[in-house]
Copies of this chain bind each other. A is one copy, B any other.
Amino acid sequence: MFQSKLFSRTSREAAKEEKSANAVFLERAGFIDKLSSGIYSFLPLGFMVLKKIEGIIRQEMQGIGGQELLLPALHPKLFWQETKRWDSMDDLYKLKEGEKEFALGPTHEEIIVPLAKKFIKAENDLPLYLYQIQTKFRKEKRAKSGILRVKEFIMKDLYSFHSSQEDLDRYYEKVKRSYFKIFQKVGIKKQFLYLTYASGGSFSKYSHEFQALTPAGEDTIYICKKCGIAVNKEIKSKTPSCPNCGSKNFEVKKAVEIGNIFKLKTKFSEPFGLTFTNKQGEKKFVLMGCYGIGLGRLLGAVVELNNDSKGIIWPDSIAPFNAHILPLQSSNKAAAKSIENYSKKLYSDLTKAGISVLYDDRKNKAAGEKFVDADLIGIPWRLVVSEKTLEKQMVELKERSSGRIKLLKKREALNFLKKKYVK
Protein backbone atom coordinates (compact mmCIF):
# COMPACT_ATOMS: atom_id res chain seq x y z
CA MET A 1 0.00 0.00 0.00
CA PHE A 2 1.26 3.48 -0.88
CA GLN A 3 1.26 5.69 2.17
CA SER A 4 0.29 8.80 0.19
CA LYS A 5 -2.92 7.00 -0.81
CA LEU A 6 -3.71 5.63 2.65
CA PHE A 7 -6.70 7.28 4.28
CA SER A 8 -4.83 8.19 7.40
CA ARG A 9 -2.61 10.99 8.47
CA THR A 10 -0.21 11.17 11.35
CA SER A 11 -0.34 14.19 13.56
CA ARG A 12 2.10 15.62 16.08
CA GLU A 13 -0.50 16.46 18.63
CA ALA A 14 -3.09 14.44 20.41
CA ALA A 15 -6.56 15.68 21.19
CA LYS A 16 -6.34 17.62 24.44
CA GLU A 17 -8.64 15.50 26.54
CA GLU A 18 -6.85 12.25 25.74
CA LYS A 19 -4.29 10.92 28.16
CA SER A 20 -3.99 7.16 27.77
CA ALA A 21 -1.41 5.75 25.36
CA ASN A 22 -3.97 3.92 23.26
CA ALA A 23 -6.03 7.04 22.65
CA VAL A 24 -3.05 9.29 22.02
CA PHE A 25 -1.10 6.97 19.73
CA LEU A 26 -4.02 5.38 17.90
CA GLU A 27 -5.43 8.81 17.09
CA ARG A 28 -2.13 10.47 16.29
CA ALA A 29 -1.05 7.57 14.07
CA GLY A 30 -4.38 7.54 12.23
CA PHE A 31 -5.81 4.20 13.37
CA ILE A 32 -8.99 5.57 14.89
CA ASP A 33 -11.01 8.77 14.85
CA LYS A 34 -13.16 10.04 17.68
CA LEU A 35 -16.65 11.02 16.58
CA SER A 36 -18.00 11.82 20.00
CA SER A 37 -17.39 10.80 23.61
CA GLY A 38 -17.11 7.01 23.62
CA ILE A 39 -17.82 6.71 19.89
CA TYR A 40 -14.98 5.95 17.49
CA SER A 41 -14.43 5.15 13.84
CA PHE A 42 -11.82 2.62 12.80
CA LEU A 43 -9.81 4.10 9.95
CA PRO A 44 -8.17 1.72 7.42
CA LEU A 45 -5.08 1.10 9.59
CA GLY A 46 -7.18 0.43 12.67
CA PHE A 47 -9.60 -1.67 10.70
CA MET A 48 -6.74 -3.90 9.50
CA VAL A 49 -5.66 -4.54 13.08
CA LEU A 50 -9.24 -5.15 14.16
CA LYS A 51 -9.67 -7.74 11.40
CA LYS A 52 -6.53 -9.56 12.48
CA ILE A 53 -7.75 -9.71 16.07
CA GLU A 54 -11.10 -10.94 14.78
CA GLY A 55 -9.35 -13.66 12.77
CA ILE A 56 -7.41 -14.90 15.79
CA ILE A 57 -10.54 -14.99 17.94
CA ARG A 58 -12.62 -16.68 15.24
CA GLN A 59 -10.04 -19.39 14.75
CA GLU A 60 -9.94 -20.11 18.49
CA MET A 61 -13.72 -20.15 18.77
CA GLN A 62 -13.98 -22.66 15.94
CA GLY A 63 -11.26 -24.70 17.63
CA ILE A 64 -13.45 -25.12 20.72
CA GLY A 65 -16.51 -26.09 18.70
CA GLY A 66 -18.15 -22.68 18.41
CA GLN A 67 -20.67 -22.10 15.63
CA GLU A 68 -20.84 -18.53 14.43
CA LEU A 69 -24.11 -16.71 13.95
CA LEU A 70 -25.25 -13.11 13.92
CA LEU A 71 -27.97 -11.78 16.17
CA PRO A 72 -29.68 -8.40 15.79
CA ALA A 73 -28.87 -5.27 17.77
CA LEU A 74 -32.53 -4.21 17.95
CA HIS A 75 -34.18 -6.15 20.78
CA PRO A 76 -37.94 -5.97 21.29
CA LYS A 77 -38.79 -4.87 24.83
CA LEU A 78 -40.65 -8.03 25.77
CA PHE A 79 -37.46 -10.15 25.80
CA TRP A 80 -35.88 -7.79 28.30
CA GLN A 81 -39.02 -7.74 30.41
CA GLU A 82 -38.86 -11.52 30.77
CA THR A 83 -35.60 -11.21 32.68
CA LYS A 84 -36.64 -7.96 34.41
CA ARG A 85 -33.53 -6.29 33.00
CA TRP A 86 -35.57 -3.77 30.97
CA ASP A 87 -35.91 -1.80 34.21
CA SER A 88 -32.88 -2.91 36.17
CA MET A 89 -30.13 -2.24 33.65
CA ASP A 90 -29.15 1.43 33.74
CA ASP A 91 -26.98 1.38 30.69
CA LEU A 92 -29.59 0.09 28.26
CA TYR A 93 -30.24 2.37 25.27
CA LYS A 94 -33.96 2.36 24.60
CA LEU A 95 -35.82 3.61 21.57
CA LYS A 96 -39.35 3.84 20.31
CA GLU A 97 -41.03 3.10 17.04
CA GLY A 98 -44.64 4.13 17.38
CA GLU A 99 -46.06 1.89 20.11
CA LYS A 100 -43.13 -0.51 19.97
CA GLU A 101 -40.08 -0.22 22.15
CA PHE A 102 -36.63 -1.65 21.58
CA ALA A 103 -33.38 -1.94 23.46
CA LEU A 104 -30.04 -1.76 21.70
CA GLY A 105 -28.39 -4.99 22.79
CA PRO A 106 -25.56 -4.58 25.33
CA THR A 107 -25.41 -8.39 25.55
CA HIS A 108 -27.47 -11.17 23.98
CA GLU A 109 -28.73 -13.64 26.58
CA GLU A 110 -32.25 -12.28 26.11
CA ILE A 111 -32.10 -13.11 22.40
CA ILE A 112 -30.06 -16.28 22.22
CA VAL A 113 -31.92 -18.18 24.93
CA PRO A 114 -35.35 -17.96 23.25
CA LEU A 115 -33.61 -18.80 19.95
CA ALA A 116 -31.84 -21.83 21.44
CA LYS A 117 -35.21 -22.92 22.85
CA LYS A 118 -36.49 -23.43 19.31
CA PHE A 119 -33.74 -25.96 18.62
CA ILE A 120 -32.83 -27.65 21.89
CA LYS A 121 -35.23 -30.45 22.73
CA ALA A 122 -33.34 -33.52 23.88
CA GLU A 123 -30.08 -34.32 25.66
CA ASN A 124 -28.66 -35.19 22.24
CA ASP A 125 -28.89 -31.54 21.21
CA LEU A 126 -26.38 -30.67 23.93
CA PRO A 127 -23.74 -29.44 24.40
CA LEU A 128 -24.04 -26.52 22.02
CA TYR A 129 -21.65 -23.59 21.57
CA LEU A 130 -22.79 -20.47 19.75
CA TYR A 131 -20.89 -17.24 19.27
CA GLN A 132 -21.03 -14.04 17.31
CA ILE A 133 -18.77 -11.05 16.63
CA GLN A 134 -21.17 -8.17 16.67
CA THR A 135 -21.69 -4.56 17.67
CA LYS A 136 -23.08 -3.82 21.12
CA PHE A 137 -24.29 -0.63 22.75
CA ARG A 138 -24.10 0.59 26.30
CA LYS A 139 -24.91 3.98 27.80
CA GLU A 140 -21.48 4.63 29.18
CA LYS A 141 -21.36 7.64 31.44
CA ARG A 142 -17.70 7.18 32.20
CA ALA A 143 -16.61 6.92 28.56
CA LYS A 144 -12.90 7.65 28.56
CA SER A 145 -9.43 6.17 28.08
CA GLY A 146 -9.72 6.10 24.30
CA ILE A 147 -11.25 2.86 23.11
CA LEU A 148 -11.04 1.10 26.48
CA ARG A 149 -14.48 2.26 27.60
CA VAL A 150 -16.95 3.20 24.89
CA LYS A 151 -20.65 3.30 24.06
CA GLU A 152 -20.55 1.24 20.88
CA PHE A 153 -18.21 -1.69 20.61
CA ILE A 154 -17.61 -4.93 18.75
CA MET A 155 -17.77 -7.93 21.00
CA LYS A 156 -17.24 -11.61 20.61
CA ASP A 157 -19.84 -13.27 22.78
CA LEU A 158 -19.93 -17.01 23.13
CA TYR A 159 -22.76 -18.86 24.85
CA SER A 160 -22.54 -22.51 25.85
CA PHE A 161 -25.44 -24.84 26.62
CA HIS A 162 -25.06 -27.99 28.70
CA SER A 163 -26.99 -30.88 30.14
CA SER A 164 -24.96 -31.12 33.35
CA GLN A 165 -22.90 -29.04 35.75
CA GLU A 166 -19.87 -31.26 35.04
CA ASP A 167 -20.12 -30.58 31.34
CA LEU A 168 -20.42 -26.84 31.94
CA ASP A 169 -17.42 -26.94 34.30
CA ARG A 170 -15.34 -28.82 31.76
CA TYR A 171 -16.16 -26.44 28.92
CA TYR A 172 -15.60 -23.41 31.14
CA GLU A 173 -12.04 -24.59 31.75
CA LYS A 174 -11.59 -25.16 28.03
CA VAL A 175 -12.67 -21.59 27.24
CA LYS A 176 -10.34 -20.34 29.98
CA ARG A 177 -7.40 -22.01 28.23
CA SER A 178 -8.60 -20.72 24.88
CA TYR A 179 -8.76 -17.15 26.23
CA PHE A 180 -5.19 -17.36 27.50
CA LYS A 181 -4.18 -18.44 24.00
CA ILE A 182 -6.09 -15.61 22.31
CA PHE A 183 -4.67 -12.91 24.55
CA GLN A 184 -1.13 -14.14 24.18
CA LYS A 185 -1.54 -14.55 20.41
CA VAL A 186 -2.61 -10.94 19.98
CA GLY A 187 0.35 -9.74 22.02
CA ILE A 188 -0.64 -9.49 25.69
CA LYS A 189 2.42 -11.00 27.32
CA LYS A 190 1.87 -13.65 29.98
CA GLN A 191 3.43 -11.58 32.76
CA PHE A 192 0.82 -8.86 32.30
CA LEU A 193 -2.17 -11.17 32.08
CA TYR A 194 -4.09 -12.17 35.22
CA LEU A 195 -6.95 -14.54 35.67
CA THR A 196 -9.04 -12.69 38.23
CA TYR A 197 -11.84 -13.90 40.48
CA ALA A 198 -14.96 -11.76 40.19
CA SER A 199 -18.49 -11.96 41.50
CA GLY A 200 -20.62 -14.78 40.14
CA GLY A 201 -23.90 -12.98 40.75
CA SER A 202 -26.84 -14.81 42.25
CA PHE A 203 -26.21 -18.13 40.50
CA SER A 204 -22.48 -18.81 40.84
CA LYS A 205 -19.96 -18.11 43.54
CA TYR A 206 -17.38 -16.67 41.17
CA SER A 207 -16.94 -15.60 37.61
CA HIS A 208 -13.56 -14.83 36.08
CA GLU A 209 -12.12 -11.78 34.43
CA PHE A 210 -8.98 -11.64 32.33
CA GLN A 211 -7.13 -8.54 33.44
CA ALA A 212 -4.18 -6.95 31.68
CA LEU A 213 -1.92 -4.83 33.87
CA THR A 214 -1.72 -1.20 32.78
CA PRO A 215 -1.87 2.13 34.56
CA ALA A 216 -4.52 3.13 31.99
CA GLY A 217 -6.84 0.46 33.35
CA GLU A 218 -9.75 1.50 35.52
CA ASP A 219 -9.85 -1.67 37.56
CA THR A 220 -7.89 -2.43 40.67
CA ILE A 221 -6.86 -6.03 41.10
CA TYR A 222 -5.26 -7.84 44.01
CA ILE A 223 -2.68 -10.34 42.87
CA CYS A 224 -2.00 -13.21 45.26
CA LYS A 225 1.74 -13.26 45.81
CA LYS A 226 1.66 -16.98 46.51
CA CYS A 227 -0.28 -18.47 43.58
CA GLY A 228 -0.41 -15.61 41.06
CA ILE A 229 -4.20 -15.62 40.73
CA ALA A 230 -5.89 -12.24 41.22
CA VAL A 231 -9.17 -11.11 42.72
CA ASN A 232 -11.06 -7.98 41.84
CA LYS A 233 -12.07 -5.22 44.24
CA GLU A 234 -15.51 -6.62 44.96
CA ILE A 235 -14.18 -10.05 45.94
CA LYS A 236 -11.31 -8.54 47.94
CA SER A 237 -13.75 -6.50 50.00
CA LYS A 238 -15.65 -9.66 50.89
CA THR A 239 -12.87 -12.14 51.52
CA PRO A 240 -9.46 -11.35 52.96
CA SER A 241 -7.81 -14.48 51.58
CA CYS A 242 -7.09 -15.83 48.10
CA PRO A 243 -9.99 -18.05 46.93
CA ASN A 244 -7.46 -20.21 45.12
CA CYS A 245 -4.75 -20.88 47.74
CA GLY A 246 -5.89 -19.13 50.91
CA SER A 247 -2.91 -16.78 51.17
CA LYS A 248 -3.51 -13.26 52.49
CA ASN A 249 -0.55 -11.66 50.78
CA PHE A 250 -1.64 -9.47 47.86
CA GLU A 251 -0.10 -6.96 45.53
CA VAL A 252 -2.37 -4.15 44.29
CA LYS A 253 -2.27 -3.20 40.60
CA LYS A 254 -4.18 -1.22 38.01
CA ALA A 255 -5.56 -3.27 35.15
CA VAL A 256 -8.03 -3.37 32.28
CA GLU A 257 -10.53 -6.18 31.88
CA ILE A 258 -10.06 -7.70 28.42
CA GLY A 259 -12.33 -10.69 28.79
CA ASN A 260 -14.74 -12.33 31.15
CA ILE A 261 -16.26 -15.76 31.55
CA PHE A 262 -19.31 -16.56 33.57
CA LYS A 263 -21.24 -19.65 34.63
CA LEU A 264 -24.80 -18.49 34.15
CA LYS A 265 -26.13 -21.93 35.07
CA THR A 266 -29.93 -21.66 34.87
CA LYS A 267 -30.16 -17.89 35.34
CA PHE A 268 -31.58 -17.36 31.85
CA SER A 269 -32.90 -20.87 31.14
CA GLU A 270 -35.44 -20.48 33.95
CA PRO A 271 -37.18 -17.24 32.88
CA PHE A 272 -37.34 -18.41 29.27
CA GLY A 273 -38.16 -22.04 30.09
CA LEU A 274 -35.17 -23.42 28.19
CA THR A 275 -35.33 -27.12 29.01
CA PHE A 276 -34.29 -30.44 27.53
CA THR A 277 -35.55 -33.96 28.03
CA ASN A 278 -32.86 -36.12 29.56
CA LYS A 279 -32.29 -39.81 28.86
CA GLN A 280 -34.64 -40.72 31.71
CA GLY A 281 -37.39 -38.71 30.04
CA GLU A 282 -37.33 -35.91 32.60
CA LYS A 283 -37.46 -32.22 31.70
CA LYS A 284 -34.44 -30.32 33.02
CA PHE A 285 -33.25 -26.75 32.70
CA VAL A 286 -30.34 -26.25 30.34
CA LEU A 287 -27.15 -25.00 32.06
CA MET A 288 -25.34 -22.11 30.42
CA GLY A 289 -22.04 -20.29 30.34
CA CYS A 290 -21.21 -16.99 28.64
CA TYR A 291 -17.84 -15.72 27.54
CA GLY A 292 -17.02 -12.25 26.22
CA ILE A 293 -14.16 -10.35 24.62
CA GLY A 294 -14.41 -6.74 23.49
CA LEU A 295 -12.33 -6.46 20.32
CA GLY A 296 -11.74 -2.71 20.41
CA ARG A 297 -10.85 -2.76 24.06
CA LEU A 298 -8.44 -5.61 23.44
CA LEU A 299 -6.85 -3.61 20.63
CA GLY A 300 -6.50 -0.64 22.99
CA ALA A 301 -5.02 -2.84 25.71
CA VAL A 302 -2.44 -4.25 23.28
CA VAL A 303 -1.35 -0.68 22.53
CA GLU A 304 -1.19 0.17 26.24
CA LEU A 305 1.14 -2.78 26.73
CA ASN A 306 3.18 -2.39 23.53
CA ASN A 307 4.48 1.13 23.11
CA ASP A 308 7.36 3.42 23.94
CA SER A 309 7.69 7.18 24.00
CA LYS A 310 7.78 7.26 20.19
CA GLY A 311 4.64 5.31 19.45
CA ILE A 312 3.08 1.90 19.05
CA ILE A 313 5.06 -1.34 18.81
CA TRP A 314 2.68 -3.76 17.10
CA PRO A 315 3.04 -7.45 17.83
CA ASP A 316 3.67 -9.41 14.61
CA SER A 317 0.34 -11.19 14.81
CA ILE A 318 -1.85 -8.11 14.50
CA ALA A 319 0.36 -5.45 12.91
CA PRO A 320 -1.42 -3.69 10.04
CA PHE A 321 1.58 -4.42 7.80
CA ASN A 322 4.65 -6.63 8.19
CA ALA A 323 7.12 -4.09 6.85
CA HIS A 324 7.42 -0.36 6.20
CA ILE A 325 9.65 0.86 3.37
CA LEU A 326 11.06 4.38 3.74
CA PRO A 327 12.82 5.72 0.65
CA LEU A 328 14.59 8.89 1.76
CA GLN A 329 14.85 12.09 -0.27
CA SER A 330 18.01 13.11 -2.03
CA SER A 331 18.86 16.47 -3.59
CA ASN A 332 20.98 14.62 -6.15
CA LYS A 333 18.64 13.76 -9.02
CA ALA A 334 20.42 10.60 -10.13
CA ALA A 335 20.62 9.34 -6.53
CA ALA A 336 16.94 10.18 -5.98
CA LYS A 337 16.08 8.10 -9.03
CA SER A 338 18.18 5.14 -7.81
CA ILE A 339 16.55 5.30 -4.39
CA GLU A 340 13.11 5.27 -5.94
CA ASN A 341 13.92 2.42 -8.31
CA TYR A 342 15.53 0.30 -5.61
CA SER A 343 12.66 0.94 -3.21
CA LYS A 344 9.99 0.15 -5.75
CA LYS A 345 11.73 -3.08 -6.70
CA LEU A 346 12.01 -3.97 -3.02
CA TYR A 347 8.32 -3.19 -2.56
CA SER A 348 7.26 -5.33 -5.49
CA ASP A 349 9.56 -8.23 -4.48
CA LEU A 350 8.21 -8.23 -0.94
CA THR A 351 4.54 -7.93 -1.85
CA LYS A 352 4.87 -10.60 -4.52
CA ALA A 353 6.36 -12.90 -1.89
CA GLY A 354 3.28 -12.39 0.28
CA ILE A 355 4.69 -9.87 2.74
CA SER A 356 2.38 -6.95 3.45
CA VAL A 357 4.16 -3.63 3.06
CA LEU A 358 3.40 0.03 3.62
CA TYR A 359 5.49 2.13 1.23
CA ASP A 360 6.20 5.68 2.34
CA ASP A 361 6.06 7.34 -1.07
CA ARG A 362 5.33 10.79 0.35
CA LYS A 363 7.45 13.22 -1.65
CA ASN A 364 7.42 16.24 0.61
CA LYS A 365 8.55 14.54 3.80
CA ALA A 366 12.06 14.85 5.19
CA ALA A 367 13.87 11.79 6.53
CA GLY A 368 13.32 12.84 10.13
CA GLU A 369 9.62 13.17 9.63
CA LYS A 370 9.39 9.77 7.97
CA PHE A 371 11.27 8.17 10.85
CA VAL A 372 9.02 9.80 13.44
CA ASP A 373 5.90 8.66 11.62
CA ALA A 374 7.20 5.12 11.18
CA ASP A 375 7.94 4.83 14.88
CA LEU A 376 4.52 6.24 15.72
CA ILE A 377 2.65 3.82 13.42
CA GLY A 378 4.73 0.97 14.80
CA ILE A 379 5.04 -1.57 11.98
CA PRO A 380 7.43 -4.34 13.13
CA TRP A 381 10.11 -3.92 10.43
CA ARG A 382 11.34 -0.66 8.91
CA LEU A 383 13.35 -0.74 5.68
CA VAL A 384 15.24 2.47 4.90
CA VAL A 385 16.62 3.09 1.43
CA SER A 386 18.92 6.11 1.19
CA GLU A 387 21.96 7.40 -0.65
CA LYS A 388 24.06 5.91 2.12
CA THR A 389 22.55 2.43 1.99
CA LEU A 390 22.69 2.43 -1.80
CA GLU A 391 26.40 3.09 -1.81
CA LYS A 392 26.63 -0.50 -0.63
CA GLN A 393 23.60 -1.62 -2.64
CA MET A 394 21.96 -2.41 0.66
CA VAL A 395 18.85 -1.62 2.64
CA GLU A 396 18.72 -0.82 6.34
CA LEU A 397 16.43 -3.09 8.33
CA LYS A 398 15.30 -1.92 11.77
CA GLU A 399 13.23 -3.87 14.23
CA ARG A 400 10.69 -1.57 15.87
CA SER A 401 10.59 -3.48 19.17
CA SER A 402 14.34 -3.77 19.82
CA GLY A 403 15.58 -0.85 17.75
CA ARG A 404 18.22 -3.18 16.30
CA ILE A 405 19.54 -2.16 12.89
CA LYS A 406 21.16 -4.29 10.19
CA LEU A 407 22.36 -3.54 6.67
CA LEU A 408 21.23 -6.22 4.25
CA LYS A 409 21.19 -7.00 0.57
CA LYS A 410 17.71 -6.80 -0.95
CA ARG A 411 17.60 -10.57 -1.31
CA GLU A 412 18.65 -11.09 2.30
CA ALA A 413 15.96 -8.75 3.56
CA LEU A 414 13.42 -10.55 1.40
CA ASN A 415 14.44 -13.96 2.69
CA PHE A 416 14.48 -12.80 6.29
CA LEU A 417 10.92 -11.41 6.08
CA LYS A 418 9.68 -14.34 4.04
CA LYS A 419 10.86 -16.72 6.71
CA LYS A 420 8.99 -14.74 9.34
CA TYR A 421 5.72 -14.04 7.56
CA VAL A 422 5.14 -16.40 4.67
CA LYS A 423 3.85 -19.81 5.64
Q: How far is the CA of A18 from the CA of B246 in the complex (A)?
A: 60
Q: Are A152 and B73 in contact (CB under 8 A)?
A: yes
Q: Are B7 and A41 in contact (CB under 8 A)?
A: no
Q: Are B69 and A124 in contact (CB under 8 A)?
A: no
Query: Which residue of chain B is the closest to A108 with respect to CB atoms?
Result: B41
Interface flag for A215 (CB, 8 Å): no
Q: Which residues in window 52-79 of A have CB below 8 A to B?
A: 67-76
Q: Which residues of B contact A130 (CB under 8 A)?
A: 7
Interface flag for A44 (CB, 8 Å): yes
Q: Are B152 and A72 in contact (CB under 8 A)?
A: yes
Q: Which residues of B contact A128 (CB under 8 A)?
A: 7
Q: Which residues of B contact A39 (CB under 8 A)?
A: 72, 74, 76
Given contacts A35-B111, A74-B137, A76-B35, contact A42 B67 (CB under 8 A): no
Query: Which residue of chain B is the closest to A137 with respect to CB atoms?
Result: B74
7 pairs of A and B residues whose beta carbons are closest in the complex: A42-B70, A95-B95, A44-B67, A36-B76, A39-B72, A41-B71, A7-B67
Q: List 21 A-B contacts (CB under 8 A).
A: A6-B67, A7-B119, A7-B128, A9-B118, A9-B119, A33-B118, A35-B71, A35-B76, A35-B115, A41-B69, A41-B71, A41-B111, A42-B70, A44-B67, A44-B68, A47-B69, A47-B70, A74-B152, A93-B97, A97-B139, A97-B151
Residues of A within 8 A of B (CB): 4, 6-9, 33, 35-36, 39-44, 46-47, 50, 67-76, 93-95, 97, 104, 111, 115, 118-119, 124, 128, 130, 135, 137, 139, 151-152
